[in-house]
């Protein structure tokens, strides 16, 4: 079984992002970048399947600038076999990402495509579902457990609003992963060295025959309204008094 894992390079989740003064976007110069945490979980899961013997090959695919090879090397050090970097310096919106991944799926013919459920920068939560639509594959979104049971079927436990739901999907399928699926391993130094010898194939949206057609224009990006600094209360009595008399919420 071949597993394709989509990886996104994003601002590290610990960075306290700042809105640019001209309101065109987020300050990303000299900001620490990392693999999107959800994508890291997807890579970890694919590598675990390989270790368990249910997968033969784990291929990473990333759309981004040249610098994204740092994140792909990290993914290879986690245990993936090889990687594909679709180089572009432009912003690629979810629908175009799905179209590019669709081309890669047609070339690679994976049995399973794993993605994170959302990227922590755009917070869109769309790409996996869009890819499933374009490839006409079933989708298992927000997965917290994935199991191969009967041949050509994958059982996916999904995190939904009321609890958990389990679905059976026929393969090939697209699965997007939730935080609870696994805890990604730490990368060891020997694995970093090994990853240097693994292959990253470079291509571009153009050579895949996808012309980017952004449909959404970001008119401006602003800081959210700042909450007023609160007051310290001394004890429970004062808290209850404030909530009743001042805030009038109880």
Partner 1 sequence: MAILIVAEHDNHTLQAATLSVLTAASEIATHISDTELHLLIIGDECQPVVAMAQGITGLSKILVADHQIHQYPLAENIAPLIVSLVQEQGHCNDEHQEFDKTQYSHIITSAGTTGKDYQPRVAALLDVAQISDIISVESADTFNRPIYAGKAIATVQSSDAIKVLTVRSSAFTAASFTAGSLTTELLAIESQVPVVALAAQADSGKSAFIKAELTQSSRPELTTAKVVISGGRGMKNADNFELLYTLAEQLNAAVGASRAAVDAGFVANDLQIGQTGKIVAPDLYIAVGISGAIQHVAGITGSKVIVAINNDPDAPIFDVADYCLVADLFEVLPELTAVLKAKN
Q: CA 164 to CA 158: how far, in whole Å?
A: 6
Among the listed ranges 59-67, 81-89, 165-173, 196-204, the one in contact with partner 1 (CB under 8 A) is 165-173
Q: What 3-state DSSP class applies to 57? A: strand
Q: CA 225 to CA 169: how far, in whole Å?
A: 43
Is residue 46 within 8 Å of 80, Cβ to Cβ? yes
Which residues in 44-83 contact partner 1 (CB under 8 A)?
A: none
Q: What tokens does 58 get?
A: 């784990």
Among the listed ranges 47-55, 66-74, 82-90, 241-249, the one in contact with partner 1 (CB under 8 A) is 241-249
**DSSP string covering 95-130, please?**
HHHHHHHHHHHHHH--SEEEEES--TTT----HHHH
Find the binder of partner 1 among 151, 190, 209, 224 (CB under 8 A).
Answer: 224
Total number of residues shown for the chain: 250
Check residue 180 for interaction with partner 1 (CB under 8 A).
Answer: yes
Find the binder of partner 1 among 32, 196, 197, 232 (CB under 8 A).
Answer: 232
Which residues in 122-161 contact partner 1 (CB under 8 A)?
A: 122-134, 137-142, 144, 155, 158-161
Per-residue interface string for the shown chain with partner 1, residues 92-121, x marking contact by CB under 8 A: -xxx--x------------------xx-xx
Is residue 40 within 8 Å of 4, Cβ to Cβ? no
Min separation Cβ 96 and partner 1, Å = 9
Among the listed ranges 13-21, 47-55, 188-196, 201-209, the one in contact with partner 1 (CB under 8 A) is 13-21
Check residue 33 for interaction with partner 1 (CB under 8 A).
Answer: no
């Amino acid at each position: 079984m071949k597993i394709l894992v989509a990886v996104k390079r994003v601002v590290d989740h610990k960075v306290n992002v700042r809105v640019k003064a001209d309101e065109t976007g987020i300050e990303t110069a000299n900001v620490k970048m990392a693999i999107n945490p959800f994508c890291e979980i997807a890579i970890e899961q694919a590598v675990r399947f390989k270790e368990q013997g249910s997968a033969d090959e784990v291929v990473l695919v990333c759309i981004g600038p040249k610098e994204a090879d740092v994140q792909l090397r990290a993914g290879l050090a986690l245990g993936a076999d090889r990687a594909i970097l679709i180089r572009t310096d432009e912003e690629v919106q979810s629908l175009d990402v799905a179209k590019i991944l669709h081309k890669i799926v047609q070339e690679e013919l994976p049995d399973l495509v794993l993605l994170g459920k959302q990227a922590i920068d755009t917070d869109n939560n769309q790409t996996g579902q869009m890819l499933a639509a374009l490839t006409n594959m079933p989708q298992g979104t927000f997965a917290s457990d994935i199991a191969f049971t009967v041949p050509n079927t994958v059982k996916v436990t999904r995190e939904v609003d009321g609890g958990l739901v389990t679905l059976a999907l026929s393969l090939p399928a697209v699965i997007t992963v939730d935080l609870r699926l696994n805890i990604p391993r730490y990368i060891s130094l020997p694995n970093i060295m090994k990853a240097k010898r693994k292959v990253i194939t470079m291509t571009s949206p153009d050579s895949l025959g996808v012309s980017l057609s952004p449909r959404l224009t970001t008119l401006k990006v602003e800081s959210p309204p700042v909450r007023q600094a609160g007051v310290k209360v001394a004890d429970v009595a004062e808290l209850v008094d404030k909530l009743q008399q001042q805030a009038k919420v109880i």
